[in-house]
Chains A and B, each alone.
Chain A
Amino acid sequence: MFRNQYDTDVTTWSPAGRLFQVEYAMEAVKQGSAAIGLRSKTHIVLGCVNKANSELSSHQKKIFKVDDHIGVAIAGLTADGRVLSRYMRNECINYSFTYESPLPVGRLVVQLADKAQVCTQRSWKRPYGVGLLVAGLDESGAHLYYNCPSGNYFEYQAFAIGSRSQAAKTYLERRFKNFSDSSRDNLVKDALMAIRETLQGETLKSSICTVAVVGVGEPFHILDQETVQQMIDAFEIVGEQEGPAAEPDAAAAAAAGQEAAAADQGGSTEEGVAPMDI
């Protein structure tokens, strides 16, 4: 990534047809601490890593309840994320008030995406510097979407964003085929394992991660520290035993070639296709 003369404002195209300010906004998402999401047919789990600035301070809130059936995890400029969460909550409340029924998730993500797009086409605005993993349940089932600062959105079976998210994505790519029929508890365990991948060796404790669940018969809520610690303890032991067994799987997957079905849109920003073009 190098600075050039076409990246001063968002309303300037580069000769290659790219909007650099928007791409820089997507870089901001990659700098934020990791957030992951995965779904089955009936449940969606969101998880994130909480990195506090210092031992003295509290960590930033990265998972927000939007409504009983929708929650969001963010990575990037958390202030932008807070503002967008407030917007999403308002939209849900207004829809419920008018139609006496919950806002379908697909509608909400389109509204969010349109809001983000506006900021890519106004000279007096800047793009939101936050990526959102929107988890929601509606009549058409369980959904997980990723909303990008560019105004694009994609639906996923499982995804990870933020720093060191590639490690989590690799883990999820190996396991995603099982998620659809997974039980709720196994889904949470997979989420915790994916979070652990992003920690690169650091011990996984409930104090440095947050997990939230939404599903059929289960309104969106953040799991409390004790529950999370219990689940970590439950599988940490199993994790060690599974170590040798997991490696042949990884080798087989690598040999078969990476499957990009849980599409990896985190994309390279070197010369070539601009990330938001896909």
Chain B
Amino acid sequence: MVKQQANWSPYDNNGGSCVAIAGADYCVIAADTRMSTGYNILTREYSKICKLADKCVMASSGFQADVKALQKQLAARHLIYQHQHNKQMSCPAMAQLLSNTLYYKRFFPYYSFNVLGGLDNEGKGCVFTYDAVGSYEKVGYSSQGSGSTLITPFLDNQLKSPSPLLLPVQDAVTPLVEAEAIDLVKTVFASASERDIYTGDKIEIVVVNATGIRREYMELRKD
């Protein structure tokens, strides 16, 4: 008697990559805009980035239906927080909320690989990186998604000081200025889209700094 196997899966992987880099007074969060299933492209213009609070932005790759549900949950919880506390949630507070929300579904997880970026209470850039069930860590930079295996080693090499590979840990944030960090992100995605079939079309780059949140785009290979 062979164990019965499922004839369908509740999950799908829509591919794509996300990156976030924290600076002294800014944070860059970027993701490609391609949504795929299997070897097919569903759309070239899908945003994986969501603004959760005034100074807090999340990028998620994985199963976009779960990502959407997760974003809606967090948005509703943020509204409740604002009613109760009369202010916006800080990035570290949102980071904990995201972790708790993910673990809540530990036994039917959100298939969502998240990267949270923003400014902490002192205005310094911060990035939090997650697995699908809510394990998280504050880091200086992070990458998730189908291209992460290509992107992370490159970031380790370029952003030497915030790298967790150095012991003792030196800086929590990169000494790069905003323009240099954005350039690095563009380079990284251009390289990733060469080898990763699920990454391409366009990058959406969101920058959070003291003046607010700004968005820009860059074209990538369409193949």
Residue in A closest to B84 when the chains form the complex, CB atoms? A86
Q: Can you show 13 pairs from A to B with CB atoms below 8 A apart?
A: A65-B83, A86-B83, A89-B79, A89-B80, A89-B83, A90-B80, A93-B76, A93-B79, A93-B80, A94-B76, A96-B76, A97-B72, A97-B76
Nearest-Cβ distance from residue A105 to partner chain B, whole angstroms: 18
Q: Give the distance in Å from the alpha carbon of A97 to the alpha carbon of B80 in the complex.
A: 13
DSSP majority for the A interface?
helix
Nearest B residue to A64 by beta-carbon distance?
B83
Instruction: Looking at the assembled complex, report how far the CB atom of A23 sits from the nearest CB atom of chain B, in whole angstroms.
Output: 32
Q: In chain A, what residue has the closest Cβ to B79? A: A93
Closest to B77 in A: A93
8 A Cβ contacts from A81-130 to B: 86, 89-90, 93-94, 96-97
How many of chain B's residues touch chain A, expressed as a range? under 10
- B interface residues with partner A (beta carbon < 8 Å): 72, 76, 79-80, 83
| Total contacting residues, chain A, CB less than 8 A | 8
CB contacts (< 8 Å) of B83 on chain A: these are 65, 86, 89
In angstroms, Cα B79 to Cα A89, docked, is 9
Chain B residues near A97 (CB-CB < 8 A): 72, 76
CA distance A96 to B80 in the complex (A): 13
| Nearest CB in chain B to that of A96: its residue | B76
CA distance A65 to B82 in the complex (A): 10
A261 to chain B, nearest CB (A): 36
| Closest CB in chain A relative to B81 CB, distance in Å | 11
CB distance from B186 to the nearest CB of A (A): 33
Within 8 A of B (CB), among A25-71: 65
Residues of A within 8 A of B80 (CB): 89-90, 93
Instruction: Give min CB distance, A98 to chain B, whole Å.
Output: 10
> Digit string of A205-230 for contact with B (CB within 8 Å is 1, else 0)?
00000000000000000000000000
Nearest A residue (CB) for B69: A97
